[in-house]
Structure 1
Amino acid sequence: MRPTRLCLLGCAMLSGVSLGGCRDQAAADSMPTPSVSYSPDRISFRPTKLPLVEAATGSTQPIASILNISEPLTYGEYKWNEQGVAPGRTWILVNLKAQTMSVFRGMNEIGTAVTLYGVDHKPTPLGRFKVLAKMEDHWSSLYDAPMPYTLQLTGDGVAIHASDVREGAGTHGCLGVPLDFGRHLFETVGVGDEVLIVKDATGDNPTLLTSG
């Protein structure tokens, strides 16, 4: 089954992967969603109607803009564009159901990719984490496998790292991303930056809300 990347606006692109805004403006306009404006590279939300990412701790993170992706992403694909984005705190949102990872600088998305996650008896943990360590050329002694561009999230080995992101693949709890996307992540994310992992960004137990 191909992943479905759910939109911040609450719709789904079943043919592939998307998060952050309906890439189909007509579909977005037909829904009771925050007011948005479109440019070739970015979808921006009206300041008085910013979507909010709500963490389990009760804290929220507003989203000002997301990447305007014209075609659905699929396994091994990613987008990265930080042009025109002001300096700010870097943080990551992972939506396990949608199988996507989004990287934000401040309130603006600068990168997104399809990601692998933990399956079966070793699921990826949910919650808010901080990057504990960075290892560019890490080799896992436990699984005897390379894990380049590792961003360690937990003391027991859960991490974000570059992987062969393909259909049907999974991990032992880690988050696997395409190699080039992993390099961008490694160069951009620092120790102490936050990673928010949610089960689903929409649906029966939503973590994405709208203000106003």
Structure 2
Amino acid sequence: MFGGLALAATVAFGGARDRAAPPPPLPQSAIEGDRVRFLAGHLPTLTMPDGATRQVRSVLNTPDAMHYGDYRWNDDGVADGPVWVRVDLAQQTVSVFRGGDEIGTAVILYGTDGKPTPTGTFPILEKAAEHRSTLYDAEMPFMLRLTGDGVAIHASAVRQGAATHGCIGVPPAFAERLFAVVKRGDPVAILPARTDPAQNRT
């Protein structure tokens, strides 16, 4: 099970949270239906792998634990703005932001030790709603290519015990929504599976 407000706790306190532990209360924030909004003057920032920072105004309110295959998506009332994606391998989650507001989150699959998922910040190089891997002879629906050697975000059967060959697998319905809102060049930040909490504080 994955903590429902894991990103909110990370945003508020820095570092990865124990997925089995309930998140602590969030200071300087208010819950408004499906959204946790940070109060004016207390907007936190997230540090990306390349050292850049992103300010966060709100995250999705997901109080219940998320399981393999689960996702949340709600962009109601979120203003237009640049889309960016943050993948946290330690939390095994992906978060999609429009401007400073999280609009989607999901539990993911990622690469094994033999074929690890690379970390860093990558632009989306290519989009293809229908794609088949020639290397692994496998379907990769709603493919968003991140690297020249084929690492991508794509629809996958996200289930316990499964892994990828370095790609980021997301639930199919989530993959379709993500595919619809991103464009080539949008950044995807992938944080490593093990991080020093002090590195995420700003």
**How far did residue 208 of structure 1 move?**
3.1
The aligned residue for residue 72 of structure 2 is 79
How has the CA–CA distance of structure 1 residues 167 and 80 changed in structure 2, closer, same or farther, with 3 Å as cutoff? Answer: same
Give the unaligned 5+ runs of structure 1.
17-21
The AA in structure 2 aligned to 1:14 is A
How far does the alpha carbon of each residue in 1:18-72 deviate from its partner, in whole angstroms, 9 at most, with x for none?
A: xxxx4xxxx315xxxx400111110011232222111233211011100011211
TM superposition shift of 1:112: 0.3
Contact 1:4 1:99 in 2 (8 A): no
Aligned mates of 1:179, 1:206 — CA distance in 2:
34
- Aligned residue for 1:135? 128
Compute the TM-score of the two structures, normalised by the length of structure 2: 0.89
2:196 alignment counterpart: 204
Q: Which amino acid aligns with 1:63?
A: V
Matched to 1:208, the amino acid is: N
State the match for 1:69 in structure 2: 62
- Compute the displacement of 1:3 (Å): 4.8
Report whether the alignment pairs 1:35 with 2:41.
Answer: no
From 46, 49, 58, the equivalent of 1:56 is 49
Identity of aligned residues (%): 46
Q: 2:20 aligns with which of 7, 14, 21?
A: 14
Are the counterparts in 1 of residues 3 and 64 from structure 2 also a CA contact under 8 Å? no
- The aligned counterpart of 2:159 is 166
Q: What is the TM-score of this pair, normalised by structure 1?
A: 0.85
User: In the alignment, is the contact (CA less than 8 A) between 2:108 and 2:158 conserved in 1?
Assistant: yes
1:15 and 1:112, CA in 2 relative to 1: closer, same or farther beyond 3 A? Answer: same
Q: What number of residue pairs does the alignment pair up? A: 195
1:206 offset after TM fit, Å?
3.8
Q: Does 1:121 align with 2:114?
A: yes
1:79-120: CA deviation from partner (whole Å, max 9, x where unpaired): 000000000000000000100000000000000000000112
Query: What do you get for the CA RMSD once the two structures are aligned?
Result: 2.0
**Structure 2 stretches lacking a partner, 5+ long:** none
1:144 aligns with 2:137: yes
Give distance in 2, aligned partners of 1:206 and 1:61.
16
